[in-house]
Amino acid sequence: MKHIIQSIKKSNLNNKKHQTAILKWFDQHGRKDLPWQKNKTPYRVWVSEIMLQQTQVSTVINYFLRFMERFPTVYLLSKATEDEVLHLWTGLGYYSRARNLLRTAKIIVNDFQGEFPPKLSELEKLPGIGPSTAGAILAIAFGQKATILDGNVKRVLTRLHCIKEWPGDKKILTKLWDIAKQLTPTDRIEDYTQAMMDLGATVCTRGKPNCNLCPLINSCLARKEGIEHKLPKSKPRKALPVRQAAFLLLKKDNSVLLEKRPPMGIWGGLWCLPEISDYPDDSEVKKFITKKFQFEIKDIKFLNIFRHTFSHFHLDILPIVGNVAKTKSKIMEDGQQIWYNPQEPATIGLPAPVKLLVENAL
DNA sequence: GAAGCGTGGGA
DNA sequence: TTCCCAAGCTT
């Protein structure tokens, strides 16, 4: 019994030292001028946290500013169309985040009187908000004690405790959550939360960590063993499969034909060029176009194949350009096809390579 | 519980 | 060039 009490006291003391060191470092070196740190509201914190999932700060900043300009409140967002939200998300990737953002905005307005619930279990029920994002919102927006475990914190803690296994493994993940919770302070929770992420992003970096600038250098076990640069162990990965597809750029005036993709799956809800799997030859292209659209195509040009890489496969894209005769260019009236003019862009979401092709081809 | 889900940048 | 993965969540 005595030993247990002593061990708890010792652990509390160590936690205190850790928290003090982190907060002192934050006061001197932490990031305090990011857009979502100004005019801080639960809405702004939520949007930023969703955008920042699997996405670096430098990428997010402009998207966040544009988004806030268009949707300054959760109420305005809740009235948006999915196309409009996806439009602002174009190029950011992981588009289910945008679809879930809109779903959650509607829930907040309809079921919560427009206010985010300051409760972990309630936040986690909302689409797109998992354990770490819920913790971040609670800590940063509401100043309540809560724990996050994002990529930054994982890296810091993996090194601090010299964890040599891959942190994605379920047992290790649970262990990391336990450590993160144990270290979480009650006081200055917002600064502490931000500090742990900043430390991972700016000092305890992936490749060459700047240990000489780290407030945890004396307690870091990986550093003690001299293997900090080797941790965390990287995910066991297979070579990505390669798929092939032809994208049709069917041009009329200053527009190309786009089709809306199904709501789920890759590029869900975005507008894409008509696609032919594998690489067709000249006659196959003409047959496809005639059968599907009843278009009359004057000439067909094959552009260079280029590679677009997703998280789980490569797509080698063969762009095929054709001019559509004006007299025969009727499209379906079901709202799933449009003529898209990049000079006067419709407010819809486009996959990055589609946007690239469309803007270069016209 | 493993796989699906984007994109861009750094090494 | 190729690999890795970044403020993870959903199914």
- pLDDT tens figures, A152-207: 999 999 999 999 999 988 999 999 999 999 999 999 999 999 999 999 999 999 98
Nearest nucleotide (C1') to the CA of residue A54?
C6
Residue A356 has pLDDT above 90, yes or no: yes
Listed as own residue / partner, the contacts of A295-298 with beta carbons closer than 8 Å and 24 or more positions apart are A295/A250, A295/A322, A295/A324, A295/A325, A295/A328, A295/A329, A296/A324, A296/A325, A296/A327, A296/A328, A297/A250, A297/A322, A297/A323, A297/A324, A297/A325, A298/A322, A298/A323, A298/A325
Q: Which pLDDT belongs to residue A330?
A: 72
Q: What is the pLDDT of residues A288-339, one digit of tens each?
A: 999 998 888 888 999 999 999 999 999 999 999 999 987 666 777 677 999 9
How many Å from the CA of A207 to C1' of B11?
8
Nearest nucleic acid nucleotide to A91, CA to C1' distance:
B7
Q: What pLDDT, on a 0 to 100 scale, did the predictor assign at position A137?
A: 97
A333 is catalytic: no
Q: Which of residues 252-311 of A touch strand C (CB under 7 A)?
A: 309, 311
Q: What does the pLDDT read at residue A327?
A: 64
Closest listed residue to residue A354, CA positions, set A288, A311, A300, A306: A306
pLDDT attached to residue A2: 63
Chain B positions with any atom < 7 A from a protein CB: 1-11
Distance (Å) from CA A133 to C1' B4?
20
Quote the pTM value.
0.96
